[in-house]
């Protein structure tokens, strides 16, 4: 029988409640929904050849044998309490994010079949299959740690966030590609430094990241079905907002949870910068504009944002006094100023907005 999260977390932590990294509010997957009728009206005519090739690739299911349900996922060595929490937090967050992708793709698939778009429904069904495998594998690594998350029951409590279709296309493309770069960069690092691989889970990352890469390519094809999304001010704003917000979330998460990367012998700030650079470069194939990293202050502002964020967190743990209030206000204003400054950093046109225009 599946243990409930509260029970499982309770077994890990004291009776006072689950450990901070196992709190239910962090675990509950966000559920996203979108303009289904609009999604169902996607015109594949101009992308038919690319669509058929991608559907065939997804049907071929290259990773069918890869996610072996019997492969042992027990950790290879003892960790300190801090390292153990870092590893478990990583597993929890990754598992929840994979499961959240599964929920989105499954729901889109179901609704697209219903809207008489079986070929699109099938494509989303196959992406949901991959995400379910990924979440299941991470879940097994958590079970090896003695933690059981009842994902289906958590998904019943999900808050639903509605996004316009354009937001879903831009943000999912980026989250698939950033996922690809995260997995492949960890894989490359651990192949060069196998002594830092603390768990067999990491041996599975290479073919795994190819799933994410394919999903990203599918979303690029879907963006191409809506040429107006890449043109004019709209294309410029969508590119800027989603690249900036996805990179900011990545920077704050990686730098705040740096102990996981340190455990693997990776410098968190350098890893974050490399993931951003590579994802930004990949986005050149899909978005009309990308950030310019060379010769701009983008990464420098990232350092200042992370530093201010850390100071805000440290201050939050101090007793409430008028002095703390004023200092907190100062830090918040500084943080807001840095956000605006980073958001406005220079971008360059990629040329994709001109595709399809005679
Ligand atoms: Fe995935
Ligand atoms: Fe994916």
What pLDDT does 52 receive?
97
Containing 302, the helix (H) or strand (E) segment is: helix 298-316
Strand 347-349, strand 31-33: pairing: unpaired
Q: Which ligand is nearest to the CA of 134?
A: 1
Q: Whole-prediction pTM value?
A: 0.89
Question: Please, which residues have CB less than 5 A from ligand 2, an ion?
Answer: 176, 212, 215
Other Cβ atoms within 10 Å of 357 Cβ, number? 7
| From 76-90, 146-160, 284-298, the region with the lowest mean pLDDT | 146-160
Three-state SS at 162? strand
Three-state SS at 68? coil
Task: State in Å: Cα 247 to ligand 1 middle.
Answer: 18
pLDDT for residue 13 is more than 50? no
- Confidence category of residue 24, pLDDT binned at 50, 70, 90: low
Task: State in Å: Cα 228 to ligand 2 middle.
Answer: 25
pLDDT for residue 126 is more than 50? yes
Task: State in Å: Cα 315 to ligand 1 middle.
Answer: 36
Max avg pLDDT among 26-35, 65-74, 232-241: 232-241
Task: State in Å: Cα 6 to ligand 2 middle.
Answer: 28
Burial of 43 (0-12, 13-18, 19+ CB in 10 A): exposed
Tokens of 357: 């225009």
Q: Which ligand is nearest to the CA of 172?
A: 2
Task: State in Å: Cα 254 to ligand 1 middle.
Answer: 18
Task: State in Å: Cα 323 to ligand 1 middle.
Answer: 45
Strand 31-33, strand 160-162: pairing: parallel
Question: Please, which residues have CB less than 5 A from ligand 1, an ion?
Answer: 98, 131, 134
224-253 pLDDT per residue, tens: 999 999 999 999 999 999 999 999 999 998
Task: State in Å: Cα 346 to ligand 1 middle.
Answer: 31
Containing 266, the helix (H) or strand (E) segment is: none
What pLDDT does 29 receive?
60
Q: Let me know: does 306 contact 251? Beta carbons within 8 Å.
A: yes
Q: Which ligand is nearest to the CA of 217?
A: 2
CA 216 – CA 289 distance, rounded (Å): 17
Q: Let me know: does 291 contact 236? Beta carbons within 8 Å.
A: no
């Amino acid at each position: 029988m599946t243990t409930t999260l509260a029970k499982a977390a309770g077994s890990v932590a004291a009776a006072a409640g689950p450990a901070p990294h196992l709190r239910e509010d962090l675990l509950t997957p966000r559920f996203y929904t979108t303009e289904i009728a609009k999604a169902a009206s996607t015109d594949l005519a101009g992308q038919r050849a690319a669509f058929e090739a991608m559907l065939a690739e997804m049907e071929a299911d290259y990773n069918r044998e890869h996610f072996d349900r019997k492969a042992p996922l027990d950790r290879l060595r003892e960790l300190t309490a801090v390292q153990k929490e870092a590893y478990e937090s990583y597993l929890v967050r990754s598992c929840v994010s994979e499961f959240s992708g599964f929920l989105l793709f499954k729901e889109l698939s179901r609704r697209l079949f219903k809207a008489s778009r079986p070929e699109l429904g099938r494509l989303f069904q196959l992406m949901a299959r991959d995400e379910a495998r990924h979440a299941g594998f991470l879940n097994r690594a958590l079970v090896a740690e003695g933690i059981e998350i009842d994902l289906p029951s958590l998904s019943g409590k999900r808050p639903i966030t509605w996004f316009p279709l354009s937001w879903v296309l831009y943000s999912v493309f980026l989250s698939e590609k950033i996922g690809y770069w995260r997995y492949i960069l960890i894989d490359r690092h651990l192949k060069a430094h196998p002594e830092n691989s603390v768990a067999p889970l990491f041996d599975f990352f290479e073919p795994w990241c190819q799933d994410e890469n394919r999903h990203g390519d599918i979303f690029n094809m879907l963006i191409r079905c809506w040429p107006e999304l890449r043109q004019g001010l709209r294309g410029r704003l969508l590119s800027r907002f989603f690249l900036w917000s996805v990179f900011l979330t990545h920077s704050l998460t990686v730098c705040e949870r740096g102990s996981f990367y340190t455990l693997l012998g990776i410098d968190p700030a350098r890893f974050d910068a490399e993931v951003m650079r590579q994802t930004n470069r990949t986005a050149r194939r899909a978005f009309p504009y990308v950030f310019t990293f060379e010769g701009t202050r983008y990464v420098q502002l990232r350092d200042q944002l992370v530093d201010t964020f850390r100071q805000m967190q440290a201050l939050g743990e101090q007793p409430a006094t008028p002095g703390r209030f004023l200092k907190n206000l100062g830090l918040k204003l500084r943080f807001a100023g840095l956000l605006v400054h980073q958001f406005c950093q220079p971008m360059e046109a990629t040329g994709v907005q001109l595709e399809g225009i005679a």
